Each structure stands twice: as structure tokens, then as C-alpha cells.
Amino acid sequence: MGYVNIPKDLTKIDRKVMLNLTKRQLSLFIPAIILGIGAYLLTYKKIGTNAMYLTVAIIVPFFYAALYKNRDNERIEDIILRYLKFKYFSCNTRVFTSRNIYKWIIRKEGEHATKKAGNSPVKASKKHPGQSKRNVHRKADKKRPGHNTIHQNA
């Protein structure tokens, strides 16, 4: 008796329409064949058998677009559109913002140092022993305490 494997995820299965091809494949193969044969017939008398190379150059991008899917099930036009949007239509300056999650530790060390030294708590909490003078007075710290902002050109 015959045995047929049925996949668990049925969303990845494409429905075949004709000649074991999907609608998408048919919609790209038919224009490829028409354009390829037309280019061959128009150029065969002028350039001879080299017209076959022109025909292949016309047909291959259509076949590649019809058959290609990456591992995330994305088609080539989706990948090209995403690349073009990123390259030409998005902002080239990316802003990276992070929170200083260790701020409370620095404060506790500062309070601990003030208790030992007997200094005022304002001066001790302003500078951490590991910080340089330059890092204490940053513009990003004045905007939002605990947040560092870096502008990076892509």
C-alpha cells in the first residue's frame, strides 16, 4: 500500500495550477519565454548563433525570480525592495540610545564613599572613581540622566 507524507505546516505549500507550476511561476515563465523567443527571432539574422546568448540573458532573470525563495520564504523582489528602501529611502544616521542600568550601583558607591570621607553627598555622587573628567559632563547626560546617545553614520 502506498504511503504519502503530509507536512505539518501547510502554509508553506504552494498550490499548483498547470504543468506542476504555481501561478507565480507561470506568470513569470510565460513572459520570459515570449521575450526570449522574440529576441532570438529578431536578432538571429543579424548576429547569427550568438543570439542564443542574448536569449539566455533575457530569460534567466525571470526564471531566477520565479524559482528563488530564501530560508525565510522571502521572494527576490521582497529582498530587493527592502534593500532599496534601506539604501535610498531611509535615514542614513542611526541613533543608538541605551540606559545606564548600573547607575544605582555608582550612586551607592558614591554614598558609601561620602560616609567614609565625610564629604557632601552631591560632590561624591557626581564623579565615580572609574570615570574620567570628560565623561562626567556629557551632553547626553544633561538631556536624560542615565541615557547615552551615539550618532552613527551608516
Residue 33 confidence class, pLDDT cut points 50, 70, 90: very high
| Segment among 6-20, 60-74, 88-102, 139-153 with least mean pLDDT | 139-153
Give the residue, 4 or 130, on which the prediction is more confident: 4
What is the C-alpha to C-alpha distance for residues 80 and 89, in angstroms, rounded to an integer?
13
State mean pLDDT over 4-21. 79
What is the C-alpha to C-alpha distance for residues 94 and 72, in angstroms, rounded to an integer?
26
97 C-beta neighbours (distance < 10 Å), count: 10
pLDDT at 19 (0 to 100): 84
66: closest CA among 56, 55, 77? 77
What is the C-alpha to C-alpha distance for residues 145 and 126, in angstroms, rounded to an integer?
12
Strand 93-99 with 147-153, pairing:
antiparallel
The predicted model scores a pTM of 0.49
pLDDT at 140 (0 to 100): 47
